[in-house]
Structure 1
């Protein structure tokens, strides 16, 4: 396990105990001699690496893992709730993209954001495979279209086509049913022995989608892409996922000229209160 490097700047600490109270594994205590917070001797392995001790300190007195609290993003920059609701309500699945690369500044912002997404048991063991260049995306797209065209001509009962039956006509017309003309794709992969490998990729891409759309970038969840990658192992191999990782879900994204002037009007969600 990585050394915690837990340090309290005694010139700043007011001994409020916030870091101790907020420590989920309860490995912090007041040092009986100095009366400042410390890691309980022998308790280091219990740390979940959440860094809440660093985040909760009102005086930026706590360091951990060598992180300087003064370099953290401010914790008081909370958007207006109505703006958050509007972002959620106006989230759309985009299936129309411009055939061009997203600008590098925006792409880098999207990639950097992923370090903040939550994971089960704070494992943070996800890995993301990005297709950054439209030319690479086109090579995936063209490969699949060529294989599908061959199946339609020579093997119309192929299991892959059977699962895609509702799209058969569009395949015949040569439409990019699977990748929707998107210039980019991100595949979220989880370590197979991580605590929540089935859920962490979906959680991460949910955050990715909202942030992307706040930046004016179109996105669409794509189970068809994941199914295609699983059916054609040679394509999955091109992703070069680390050993022990499994693709959890795919999201297509990129610049789009399409805009939705208003939100949809979905029916109320089914719910009840438990007594």
Structure 2
């Protein structure tokens, strides 16, 4: 049974919650919104009804509108600010050798968790390495395993480039993690309707919010391949449970370099349909 409560002393009967329910589960009865018992099983917990109520009259699934942060239009970024954020973003491969504050990492993760998911299932898992010393240990374990596989002739030709990573590290090059202090790995439950889409949206949200805090990121395809195909046992250390599969990895930390201008790009390739 869905906990759906309306404060009739506050409700003005505007019907916004009824109009905005994605599955049309709400109805007006005697000027008050109602979630009929026969429809409760279909509620996906999206909280649209909760968020759209101007009067803070509606509670659902234990969420109290008085405890929720109100949206301030004055705090929303202007288009020029969003353009600067998006077009000024760069993949960071040079990082400062210091940890982010734990409070900042928590804020980045909590905000990324608000990203939309298919059917609002919210079945992702964020595995985060929040200490550079831990990531250093993980790097060493992965490189040692890659070297063992190479020496045993167990690396497929498609992954032959990875065999050079241990020697590259000895020469001072961190091909796997670019000497970043932190790593985010997103995994998804196997039964999600849109697992990869959910992960990519969440990680894009993470990186844009991180950028606003001066934190750089890198979509780490090499680490993703290594964790998925070469050193899958490392997924256990990352806390990825049975019934989940790894989607993607992202390095992050304070950049050691700063960019002076946006990269010049060609115009978008667009096919206008008439």
TM-score normalized with structure 1 length: 0.91
Distance 1:267 1:36 in 2: 53
Contact 1:151 1:158 in 2 (8 A): no
Structure 2's unaligned 5+ residue stretches are: none
Contact 1:184 1:253 in 2 (8 A): yes
What's the CA shift for 1:151? 5.8
Contact 2:126 2:184 in 1 (8 A): yes
Aligned to 1:146, what secondary structure does the other structure show? helix
Distance 1:232 1:167 in 2: 13
Partner residue, 2:25: 27
Partner residue, 1:218: 216
Alignment of 1:22-171 (within 5 A): 22-31=20-29, 34-75=30-71, 76=73, 77-149=75-147, 155=153, 158-159=156-157, 161-164=159-162, 170=168
Distance 1:144 1:263, change over 3 A: same
Cα deviation per residue 1:34-64 (whole Å; 9 max; x = unaligned)? 4200102310011111100011111111111
What's the CA shift for 1:70? 2.0
Over aligned residue pairs, what C-alpha RMSD do you find? 2.2
Partner residue, 2:189: 191
Contact 1:101 1:183 in 2 (8 A): yes
Structure 1's unaligned 5+ residue stretches are: none
Contact 1:145 1:174 in 2 (8 A): no
Distance 2:259 2:52 in 1: 39
Aligned pair 1:244/2:220, yes or no?
no
Aligned to 2:247, what secondary structure does the other structure show? strand
Partner residue, 2:200: 202
Cα deviation per residue 1:157-203 (whole Å; 9 max; x = unaligned)? 75464254897984674521111101110111111101101211111
Aligned to 1:187, what secondary structure does the other structure show? strand
Aligned to 2:93, what secondary structure does the other structure show? coil
TM-score normalized with structure 2 length: 0.91
Distance 1:54 1:190 in 2: 27
Aligned to 2:37, what secondary structure does the other structure show? coil
Distance 2:133 2:166 in 1: 26
Q: Report how many aligned residue pairs link the two structures.
A: 271
